[in-house]
């Protein structure tokens, strides 16, 4: 059964369960306190916002997303599928991002892709479905599963901030690689998504002590669409 993080209460229950699964997390929790649930809009808009914000500063990502959502009302896969590439480019999207969004829009339109059902699938299977799409990398897939679908076991193994937090928190000699992150997270199944929230909170604690703005380093902190209303 898939666990979902659709409310702050869900996250709190999951974090407390994590602490029972792995005692090493207790000192981390004592420093962070209960993390806040982070959510983004589900569906095509949520995935599109993550794609738009890739490899951009917070300000640039916000500006481009603002222009896109203003230009297409409603903002949905049908509108992007029909939009001219040159128009999307003038709004700030790179050629690679235009190709990615149009491909996803075509898959949705042809009903070969259903983003909603991914919330109920095994996290690794859902991850594979998304990364099979042109232009959707592992980090984008995992952030979508976690923030947009509330998948309780999504694990953004490539997130640098989580890697750094785990290195310090678990006393590792070096920041773990993406490959090393998978076995490290095995004790936290099926709650790896909750663990990600905890480690992001710990990263902010570490950077706060160092006087460094965590959002400048954390890819997952890039802005996306509005928070879902419950």
CATH number, domain of 143, equals 1.10.340.30
Q: Please choose, from the candidates 221, 155, 217, 213, the residue with its C-alpha nearest in 3D space to the C-alpha of residue 18.
A: 155
Q: Per-residue confidence at 19, pLDDT binned at 50, 70, 90? A: very high
Asked if residue 57 and residue 26 are part of one domain, the reply reads no
Could you read off the pLDDT of 7-16 as tens digits, one per residue? Answer: 999 999 999 9
Query: Distances in Å between the alpha carbon of 11 and those of 38, 67, 192, 198?
Result: 10, 33, 11, 10
CATH number, domain of 186, equals 1.10.1670.40
Asked if residue 115 and residue 63 are part of one domain, the reply reads yes
Task: Answer whether residue 69 shows pLDDT above 50.
Answer: yes
Residue that the structure tokens 């962070």 belong to? 32
Task: Answer whether residue 216 shows pLDDT above 90.
Answer: no
C-alpha torsion angle, residues 19, 22, 23, 25 (rounded to 10): -60
Question: How far is the C-alpha of 195 from the C-alpha of 189, rounded, in Å?
Answer: 9
For the chain, first and last CA: distance in Å? 22
Question: What range does the domain containing 103 cover?
Answer: 43-148
Asked if residue 17 and residue 106 are part of one domain, the reply reads no
Residue pair 156/143 in contact by the 8 Å Cβ criterion: yes
Task: Answer whether residue 18 shows pLDDT above 70.
Answer: yes
Q: What is the pTM for the complete model shown?
A: 0.87
Question: How far is the C-alpha of 144 from the C-alpha of 130, rounded, in Å?
Answer: 9
Asked if residue 47 and residue 137 are part of one domain, the reply reads yes
Asked if residue 90 and residue 18 are part of one domain, the reply reads no
Domain count, the chain: 2
**Inside any domain, residue 229:** no
DSSP secondary structure letter of residue 227: P
Q: Per-residue confidence at 55, pLDDT binned at 50, 70, 90? A: confident
Out of 148, 182, 197, a domain closes at: 148
Asked if residue 83 and residue 48 are part of one domain, the reply reads yes
Asked if residue 135 and residue 49 are part of one domain, the reply reads yes
Task: Answer whether residue 150 shows pLDDT above 90.
Answer: yes
Q: Which residues of 5-18 are buried (b: 16+ CB within 10 A; e: fewer)?
A: bbeeebbebbbeeb
Query: Distances in Å between the alpha carbon of 98 and those of 62, 92, 145, 210, 230?
Result: 17, 10, 21, 38, 31
Asked if residue 201 and residue 110 are part of one domain, the reply reads no
**Inside any domain, residue 3:** no
Could you read off the pLDDT of 158-204 as tens digits, one per residue? Answer: 999 999 999 999 999 999 999 999 999 999 999 999 999 999 999 99
């Amino acid at each position: 059964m898939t666990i979902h993080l659709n409310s702050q209460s869900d996250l709190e229950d999951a974090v407390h369960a994590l602490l029972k699964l792995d005692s090493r997390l207790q000192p981390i929790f004592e420093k962070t306190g209960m993390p806040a649930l982070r959510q983004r809009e589900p569906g095509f808009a949520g995935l599109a916002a993550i794609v738009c914000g890739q490899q951009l500063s917070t300000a640039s990502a916000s500006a481009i997303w603002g222009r896109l959502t203003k230009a297409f009302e409603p903002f949905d896969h049908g509108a992007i599928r029909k939009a001219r590439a040159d128009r999307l480019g003038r709004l700030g999207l790179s050629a690679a991002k235009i190709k990615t969004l149009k491909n996803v829009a075509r898959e949705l339109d042809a009903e070969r892709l259903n983003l909603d059902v991914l919330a109920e699938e095994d996290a690794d299977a859902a991850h594979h479905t998304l990364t099979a799409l042109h232009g959707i990398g592992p980090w984008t897939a995992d952030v979508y599963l976690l923030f947009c679908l509330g998948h309780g076991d999504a694990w953004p193994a490539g997130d640098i901030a989580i890697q750094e937090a785990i290195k310090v928190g678990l006393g590792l000699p070096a920041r773990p690689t993406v490959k090393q992150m998978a076995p490290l997270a095995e004790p936290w199944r099926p709650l790896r998504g909750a663990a990600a929230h905890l480690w992001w909170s710990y990263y902010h604690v570490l950077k706060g002590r160092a006087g460094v703005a965590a959002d400048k380093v954390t890819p997952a902190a890039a802005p996306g669409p509005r928070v879902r209303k419950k």
